[in-house]
């Protein structure tokens, strides 16, 4: 049996096993998808084969046992140190974030399915970035994919806040390099995002995963014309989305992005078309049951 999985820290919230295992069952593939907790300080030893990692069953699994991986917070950037990118993946070398790994010819190949996954979900929601001013919370690997999609779809301007300003500056440099001096602003505080003048607010931080997490923005800045997107999908309605709902704004969690990036990852691993409706049903059942 082939073993696939997702590595991250934390990882217990991930719904990826539900959709991938449903897809494997539907297509009759002898495989299983599991969650693997990998602390930041353990990433190097894991990829060098020195340490095994515990899955949700308590089994110890080594890197050599795996056929494919998804990568989530906080490893989407650091994992680049341990993989290869195809020659044609020139843009990934600039984006510097991957979320899907495939074992090919004895080496790990990296892909970013977050980019087309986020793009497809935005289109499904009817949000067009072109000409829009956007506030972006967070500057990690997911934010790199999100900002790429926004700039590539001709957003008017992006303002970014992250507690690590250097990470935000790194995204600004990436966007200016890829999109001919794209108008991006890095701010020192959330207030400076000037959310009440923006067309969209996107949360690409993990703040909101826990019930005790605060909401990063004040409710006064959430206005009716704002589109609010939270990449967090579990819980299905974060405090940020609750504010958007109360304000009468359009909003969405990241479940659609998870679905579409997952379907593309599945195809990378299996060379088969992913059963998207089966995966979607499994996600919804896992989230709301």
Per-residue confidence in pLDDT tens, the chain, 289 aa: 999 999 999 898 999 999 999 999 999 999 999 999 999 999 999 999 888 887 767 778 899 999 999 999 999 999 999 998 876 676 788 899 999 999 988 889 999 999 999 999 999 999 999 999 999 999 999 999 999 999 999 999 999 999 999 999 999 999 999 999 999 999 999 999 999 999 999 999 999 999 999 999 999 999 999 999 999 999 999 999 999 999 999 999 999 999 999 999 999 999 999 999 999 999 999 998 8
> Nearest Cα to 186, choosing from 141, 136, 144?
136
Q: Positive or negative CA dihedral for 67, 113, 48, 35?
A: negative
Give burial (CB, 10 Å; 0-12/13-18/19+) of 181. Answer: exposed
Q: Give, rounded to a whole angstrom, the gap between the first and last alpha carbons of the chain.
A: 28
User: Cβ distance 142 to 165 under 8 Å?
Assistant: no
Catalytic residue among 76, 109, 132, 198: 76
Which pair of tokens denotes residue 49? 């084969």
2-112+256-288, which class in CATH?
alpha beta
pLDDT of 56: 67
Using the Cα atoms of residue 188, residue 191, residue 196 and residue 202 in order, give the sign of their dihedral. Answer: positive
Structure tokens at 275: 């059963």
User: How many angstroms separate the Cα of 269 from the Cα of each of 2, 7, 49, 68, 103?
Assistant: 10, 16, 21, 6, 8
Task: Give me the pLDDT at residue 88, please.
Answer: 62
Residue 205 CB contacts under 8 Å (≥ 6 apart), including other chains: 137, 138, 140, 162, 216
- CATH H superfamily, domain 115-253: NAD(P)-binding Rossmann-like Domain (3.40.50.720)
pLDDT of residue 52: 82
Answer whether the bond into residue 235 is a cis peptide, omega within 30°. Answer: yes
Contacts of residue 130, defined as CB under 8 A and 6 or more positions apart, other chains included, come to 153, 154, 155, 156
Q: Locate CATH 3.40.50.720 in the chain.
A: 115-253
Stated pTM of the model: 0.95
User: Catalytic: 76?
Assistant: yes
Q: What residue spans of 179-209 are helical by DSSP H?
A: none
CA distance 10 to 7: 9
d(CA 234, CA 18): 13
Locate CATH 3.40.50.10860 in the chain: 2-112+256-288
**Cα–Cα distance list, 33 to 2, 125, 162, 230 (Å):** 9, 29, 32, 25
């Amino acid at each position: 049996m082939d073993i696939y999985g997702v590595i991250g820290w934390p990882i217990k919230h991930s719904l990826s096993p539900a959709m991938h295992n449903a897809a494997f069952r539907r297509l009759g593939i002898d495989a299983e998808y599991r969650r693997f907790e990998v602390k930041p300080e353990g990433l190097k030893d894991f990829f060098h084969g020195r340490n095994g990692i515990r899955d949700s069953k308590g089994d110890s699994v080594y890197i050599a046992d795996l056929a494919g991986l998804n990568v989530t917070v906080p490893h989407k950037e650091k994992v680049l140190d341990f993989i290869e990118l195809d020659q044609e993946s020139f843009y990934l070398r600039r984006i510097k974030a991957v979320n899907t790994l495939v074992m090919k010819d004895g080496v790990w190949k990296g892909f970013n399915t977050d980019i087309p996954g986020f793009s497809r979900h935005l289109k499904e929601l009817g949000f067009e970035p072109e000409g829009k001013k956007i506030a972006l919370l967070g500057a990690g690997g997911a934010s790199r994919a999100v900002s790429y999609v926004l700039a590539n779809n001709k957003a008017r301007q992006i303002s970014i806040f992250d507690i690590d300003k250097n990470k935000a500056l790194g995204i600004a440099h990436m966007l200016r390099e890829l999109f001919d001096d794209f108008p991006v602003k890095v701010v020192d505080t959330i207030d400076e995002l000037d959310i009440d003048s923006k067309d969209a607010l996107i949360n690409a931080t993990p703040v909101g995963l826990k019930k005790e997490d605060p909401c990063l923005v004040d409710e006064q800045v959430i206005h009716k014309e704002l589109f609010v997107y939270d990449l967090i999908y579990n819980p299905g309605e974060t405090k940020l989305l609750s504010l958007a709902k109360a304000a009468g704004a359009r909003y969405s969690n990241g479940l659609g992005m998870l679905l579409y990036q997952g379907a593309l990852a599945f195809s990378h691993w299996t060379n088969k078309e992913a059963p998207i409706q089966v995966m979607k049903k499994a996600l919804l059942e896992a989230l709301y049951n």
